């Protein structure tokens, strides 16, 4: 151990992890036709334009953050 030295990746952003033990969780999802025969999932009557905008804005924010971080690699 006296000869051991730290080396390797020193990335600090959330999209690149140097430790292989920190993999993202694995998910198994049913095909949509196994979930819904009508094409609906959840309670569509609760949907509003404002909720849809919040949802889309959140996705745009997250994807933009990833692309900005990726551009710096």
What pLDDT does residue 57 have? 95
Mean pLDDT score, 28-34: 68
Residue 1 lies in a domain: no
Q: Say what the alpha-carbon torsion angle 44, 46, 50, 55 is, to the nearest 10 degrees.
A: -60
User: Can you give the residue range of the structural domain that contains 54?
Assistant: 20-71
Number of domains within the chain: 1
For the stretch 40-65, pLDDT in tens is: 777 878 888 999 999 999 999 999 99
pTM above 0.85, yes or no: no
Mean pLDDT for 6-34 is 63
- Tell me whether residue 49 is exposed, middle or buried, using C-beta atoms within 10 angstroms of its C-beta: 0 to 12, 13 to 18, 19 or more: exposed
Assigned domain for 13 exists: no
Q: Is 10 among the domain residues?
A: no
Give the separation between CA 11 and CA 17, rounded to whole angstroms.
Answer: 7
For residue 12, is it within any domain? Answer: no
| Cα distances (angstroms) measured from residue 54 to each of 24, 30, 41 | 25, 26, 19
Question: What pLDDT band is residue 33 in, cutting at 50, 70 and 90?
Answer: confident
């Amino acid at each position: 151990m006296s000869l051991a030295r730290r080396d390797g990746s020193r990335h600090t952003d959330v999209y690149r992890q140097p430790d292989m033990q920190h993999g993202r969780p694995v998910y198994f999802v049913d095909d949509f036709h196994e979930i819904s025969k009508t094409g609906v999932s959840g309670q569509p009557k609760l949907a509003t334009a404002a909720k849809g905008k919040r949802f889309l804005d959140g996705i745009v924010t997250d994807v933009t953050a990833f692309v900005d971080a990726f551009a710096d690699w």
